[in-house]
Amino acid sequence: MSAVELDGVTKRFGNVTAIEDLTLTVDRGEVFGFLGPNGAGKSTTINVLLGFLEPTAGTARVLGTDVTEASRAVRERVGLLPEAFDGVPNLSASEHVEIAIRTKGADDDPDALLERVGLDPDDARRPADDYSTGMHRRMALAIALVGDPDLIVLDEPSAGLDPNGVQLVREIVREEAERGATVFFSSHILDEVERVSDRVGILQDGRLTAVNSVENLRAELGMGAVVEATVDDPVAPDAVAAVDGVTDVTVADSTVRVACATPRAKMPALRQIDRATTVADVTIEEASLEDLFEAYTAGDADRPDSGADGRAGGGADEGAAASGGEPA
């Protein structure tokens, strides 16, 4: 059973189509990063997933249950950190967490949860009304973790957090995934998404333009990697150029620069150089998720093949693509 299954989901608000024909499957235990420019439809998708919004068309299943039929049952097994959460006036973080524990019938220790998200115990006991943005975020994260949810949905978890907070969120996401939870999160901090996600989905104007691991997205766009080796003796470029996946080799003095279409080509290329000479130093640069995001959210004319049906871009790795929508 998958954690999330969206099948042809469309959501319209009047004449605004927020999401269109979204088909996406997220496996149990997966960390899925959901990306897209402002207004792309990320929060709308999350609200449909949790049964807060009814889709105009299509079906949404979470942990095997249709959310439109049993949204309350679904929410009992889901932890949510919403995009905006100011809390109840006059209540402290401790009280918010205690209420969440009672509501879910969980047996968490509120102090342990608040400590886990890095809220100072004194702060946790004063009304949350005056909290800073980051403190609010930490409180909301503690609430999302109540009851060891099977699915944790985080809408911009790191917005307003300091660098330590961003790092903490990453650690918590990893720990939750190790426990077996599925984590579905949206973020504009691409570096964070790249570090923790098994796969990412890129949403643009309400349509999924890509779903895959970051590595496979690099391969799809041919934005593989550049290997630059400092060598003791000159290297004939032909042998390196013959390596599968290598697109260009330039040799200048003691530097060999190899452009690879896929990151998988970089080690065979390096081994080929190493066979011919001694490698004194090496640097490897890979396209960042930021580069990929720019490519996938470019104007229609510049965008890689996104598929006319708005479904996920095909995967270089069939296995990964199989759980993330149909190849375009």
Ligand X SMILES: Nc1ncnc2c1ncn2[C@@H]1O[C@H](COP(=O)(O)OP(=O)(O)OP(=O)(O)O)[C@@H](O)[C@H]1O
| SS3 (DSSP) at 48 | helix
Nearer to ligand X, 42 or 116 (CB): 42
Can you tell me the distance from the alpha carbon of 304 to that of 208, in angstroms, rounded to the nearest whole number?
12
Please report the sign of the dihedral spanned by the C-alpha atoms of residue 37, residue 41, residue 45, residue 46: positive
What is the phi/psi pair of residue 77, to 5°?
Answer: -105, 5
Contacting ligand X within 59-118 (CB under 6 A): 83
Can you tell me the distance from the alpha carbon of 208 to that of 303, in angstroms, rounded to the nearest whole number?
12
Residue count at the site for ligand X (CB under 6 A)? Answer: 12
Nearer to ligand X, 10 or 167 (CB): 10
Q: Which stretch binds ligand X (CB under 6 A): 40-48, 67-75, 102-110, 261-269?
A: 40-48
Nearer to ligand X, 18 or 260 (CB): 18
Q: Does 39 bind ligand X (CB under 6 A)?
A: yes
Nearer to ligand X, 11 or 170 (CB): 11
Q: Which stretch binds ligand X (CB under 6 A): 13-21, 66-74, 141-149, 293-301?
A: 13-21
Q: Does 43 bind ligand X (CB under 6 A)?
A: yes
At closest approach, how far in Å is the CB of 88 from ligand X?
22
Can you tell me the distance from the alpha carbon of 199 to that of 176, in angstroms, rounded to the nearest whole number?
16
Nearer to ligand X, 68 or 254 (CB): 68
- Residue 35 tokens, joined: 């990306």
* Helical axes 133-145 vs 93-104, angle rounded to 10°: 20
Count other C-beta atoms under 10 Å from residue 132's C-beta.
11
Q: Does 13 bind ligand X (CB under 6 A)?
A: yes
CA–chain centroid gap for 19, Å, is 18
Instruction: Select from 23, 25, 44, 323 the one that contacts ligand X (CB under 6 A).
Output: 44
Nearer to ligand X, 37 or 327 (CB): 37
At closest approach, how far in Å is the CB of 60 from ligand X?
14
Identity of residue 67: V
CB 239 within 8 A of CB 268: no
Instruction: Select from 26, 35, 40, 200 the one that contacts ligand X (CB under 6 A).
Output: 40
At closest approach, how far in Å is the CB of 187 from ligand X?
9
Does residue 216 come out as left (phi exceeding 0), alpha (psi in the -120 to 50 range) or beta?
alpha
- Give the binding site for ligand X (CB under 6 A): 13, 16, 18, 36, 38-44, 83
